[in-house]
Structure 1
Amino acid sequence: MVFGFSKAIVLGFLFTAVQNWTNSSILKGKNLFFLLLFWFLGRFSMYPLGFPSYLSFGLDISSDLFVIYLLVPKLMVPTQNHNRPIVFHYALFTVFHLFSGLSARSVIEPEQTLSFIHLSIFVILFLILIIGGRVVPFFSGVVIPGYSFKRIPKIESVVLYLPFTFYLFKLIQVFSIQGIATNIDFTKFNIVSGILIISFLICFSLFLTNSIRFLSWKPWKSYKKPILWILYMGYFWVSIGFLLYSLAELGYFPISSAIHSLTVGGIGVFIYGMITRVSLGHTGRSIIASPLTVFAYIILNIAVVIRVFFPLMGEYKYAYHLSGMIWVLSFLLFLLQYTKILFSPRPDGKPS
């Protein structure tokens, strides 16, 4: 779900945005073929093709390295200074992906596999915050008559750069608690508790800044436009997820529920909103959510509530199974409605 599904969708958004920002075509021809090939082989070369696991993993990492190879010439130039953090985020995603694979294969401490997967999830979230910060206000201006908002430069800077401080302290937290790659006994200096408090403060700051940013976009104006409010709901779950994760850092909330607020909610809902919108817009259709799509939006958010909050009442298995089934159903409804649209010519005859 992290290195296959989420990565593929976010890369689709990212390359579309980068091509617009740089007025250039990046992902076509051989570039598109090799990226798809590396991604596909990383998913399916071990089963059913029978490749050794280390080779499958190497091919999967190759897709990340290829992405960096494509992004660097476009974004690491003077005219793209404001977009450079995207390259740094994705470079860290590649490192975390690599470490999670090495940990899963016991090359490094095997107990840390989940920690590096979680760090990879946060990279995806921070990329969504960057992309969402550009497209959600833009889409609002297109859809809502007379819409305007005031961008807050200081908030934008915090949203853009605070994640790198988050990465630093999460890595220190991982290394200090488990002692990977170091012989220092951090506990002698009482550093672990201090790191947890700092991590709490960073996550709470991410909650506050993203909430201020969210409210500055006037999300209440989208209530009559389901194709728009679903994006706001995705961003809302990201903000709430940071709050819950900050509480989890101090032991006041289950870490699993906090992570799923960010993944099932933040990543899942935002992705669903984006793919339904771009599937209509990029194929020349009217950008209006059908009743069945609106139904899918609603049940997808219900799945988030069930997965995040029902375990607090002791209903663990019920929460896992029911939320999972609803989540899958919502994406099956997407396939039911949009497969034909995506494989049909545009009504206006233009290339899609």
Structure 2
Amino acid sequence: MVRGASQRLSRQMGAVGQFWDAPFRPLFLAAALCAIATVAQWPLGLPPEVLSPGLWHAHEMLFGFGGAAVGGYMLTALPSWTGKQPVSGRPLVFLTLLWLLARIAAFNAGQLAPPVLALAGASYFLCLAALLTRQIVASRSWPKLGFVLAIIVLAGTDAALLRALALGELAVGREFVHAAVFVFALLMSLVGGKLVPAFTESWLAQSGHVGARPVPRLPVAAAIALVAAMGLQATGLDLPTGGLPVITAALLLWHMRGWRSSTILSEPLLVALHLGYLWLPLGLGLAGIARLAPLPISDTDALHMLTVGAMGGLVFAIAGRAAARRVAGGLRAGPGFASGFALIWLATCVRAALPENLTLSGALWCLGWLVFTLRLLPALFGPVDRPVLSGRRSQTPLKAPES
């Protein structure tokens, strides 16, 4: 009896240890829980320690939810970029603790000195950048250093936003929120602009579609226009900072016309990627137009299409692949995936069309992420099948493409 109990305890401890074998496990779970907590707490009211609840909400949606998702994706894809072993164990535990400490610091911003608050916010991103840089430099995968630069920019933006929040400089804080949204939009355009066509092209070939042809990747001009918009964000000039997002949106929509979206309707994992990415040009276009001409929708509401719609949709779709079942060398969406994603997409529509009804859009958002969290739980323990985001092979070769 004692021996049986000891064996069960050993298995349980082993399962807990396996939780730290893959970056997507703690970080995608953290992103999902943050997505729920950040919105669910809004109607309940926030304690006085939280300075400017609106900016706290924006900060946690971007740097809490978005930051965990970016870390989970990049560290999961890192072995396919470098051929190195995946980040796991103590470094992953340390990174996750830094993310958690940043959430605690932001929630208690009123009780912390501005330098301490800024350092707490930036530490997670700086650690993430260091983990990425170490493997990228060792493998000489120099083009991937662009992602490291974006992470460092996020670290600086996070620190500057928290410092402005602690000093009561709310107008400055809002500008940093807008800048952070553009940085995440650039990351989504670069990652999604490669990942969505790649998975689409692979699925079309595996499904035996006659005349399957290469699916176009992100046009360079779109990325350049978005970077220029980011650079002009601080100028306060409405014409360039409004016109460039509109140009970027048009380029992205033109780019998406070659994705053959109508042919993948039977594959929920791909449908979610296509529909999540669609909010990126829609949000950029409306955010740009709102700066140039009066619209029924405000600039803030348009930006929610980028955060709730594009970021939420793409994170749900990409993280959902990590929780998917492996069937005959491919991935299959598990029960609840389609309904969970539909709730996220509907929450975005309600937020855009009925901005005064925050309770309904928030409830849909939280319910969608609750469904996701419940479906993710079985994938958090046990041996890790690699590549994680692609079902091409269920063995462990590190150079198998993740994205």
Closer, same or farther: CA 47–327 of 1 in aligned 2, 3 Å: closer
Distance (whole Å) between structure 2 residues aligned to residue 344 and residue 52 of structure 1: 40
Deviation at 1:341?
Answer: 3.4
Distance (whole Å) between structure 2 residues aligned to residue 37 and residue 341 of structure 1: 21
1:343 aligned to 363, 374, 381, which one?
381
Most deviating of 140-149 and 4-13: 140-149
Asked if the contact 1:234–1:265 (Cα under 8 Å) also holds between the matched residues in 2, the reply is yes
Deviation at 1:342?
Answer: 2.6
User: Does 1:236 pair with 2:278?
Assistant: yes
User: Does 1:126 pair with 2:186?
Assistant: yes
Q: Which residue of 2 aligns with 1:188?
A: none
Distance (whole Å) between structure 2 residues aligned to residue 285 and residue 8 of structure 1: 28
Describe the superposition over 1:279-303 as per-residue Cα deviations: whole angstroms up to 9, x where unpaired.
2268999622245221222222111
Deviation at 1:84?
Answer: 3.4
1:166 aligned to 218, 229, 238, which one?
229
Describe the superposition over 1:133-177 as per-residue Cα deviations: whole angstroms up to 9, x where unpaired.
22212211332323433536xx5322333332111100222xxxx
Asked if the contact 2:248–2:281 (Cα under 8 Å) also holds between the matched residues in 1, the reply is yes
Q: Which has the higher contact order (CA 8 A, sep 6+)?
A: 2
Closer, same or farther: CA 350–84 of 1 in aligned 2, 3 Å: closer
Asked if the contact 2:323–2:334 (Cα under 8 Å) also holds between the matched residues in 1, the reply is no
Q: Which residue of 2 aligns with 1:265?
A: 309
Amino acid at match of 1:14: M
2:176 aligned to 116, 120, 132, which one?
116
Describe the superposition over 1:74-101 as per-residue Cα deviations: whole angstroms up to 9, x where unpaired.
4469954533332222222122112111
Structure 1 runs not aligned, ≥5 long? 174-194
User: Does 1:148 pair with 2:228?
Assistant: no
Closer, same or farther: CA 285–346 of 1 in aligned 2, 3 Å: farther
**Any idea what SS the aligned residue of 1:287 has?**
strand
Q: Which residue of 2 aligns with 1:186?
A: none
Distance (whole Å) between structure 2 residues aligned to residue 282 and residue 24 of structure 1: 23
Amino acid at match of 2:162: G
Q: Which has the higher helix share?
A: 1
Most deviating of 6-15 and 336-345: 336-345
Amino acid at match of 1:99: A
**Any idea what SS the aligned residue of 1:252 has?**
coil
Most deviating of 155-164 and 12-21: 155-164
Amino acid at match of 2:173: T
User: Normalized against structure 1, the TM-score is what?
Assistant: 0.81
Distance (whole Å) between structure 2 residues aligned to residue 132 and residue 158 of structure 1: 15
Kindly report which structure 2 residues correspond to 1:191-230, keeping only aligned pairs within 5 A, or say none. 195-230=237-272
Kindly report which structure 2 residues correspond to 1:180-329, keeping only aligned pairs within 5 A, or say none. 195-253=237-295, 254-280=298-324, 287-311=331-355, 316=356, 318=357, 320-329=358-367
Distance (whole Å) between structure 2 residues aligned to residue 293 and residue 279 of structure 1: 9
Distance (whole Å) between structure 1 residues aligned to residue 326 and residue 172 of structure 2: 41
Asked if the contact 1:35–1:67 (Cα under 8 Å) also holds between the matched residues in 2, the reply is yes
Q: Count the aligned residue pairs.
A: 321
Most deviating of 339-348 and 87-96: 339-348
Deviation at 1:45?
Answer: 5.3
Most deviating of 240-249 and 26-35: 26-35
**Any idea what SS the aligned residue of 2:324 has?**
helix
Amino acid at match of 2:214: F
User: Does 1:82 pair with 2:139?
Assistant: no
User: Does 1:97 pair with 2:158?
Assistant: yes
Q: Percent identity?
A: 22
Distance (whole Å) between structure 2 residues aligned to residue 68 and residue 290 of structure 1: 32
Distance (whole Å) between structure 2 residues aligned to residue 150 and residue 321 of structure 1: 39
Describe the superposition over 1:202-236 as per-residue Cα deviations: whole angstroms up to 9, x where unpaired.
10111011112222222222111111111000110
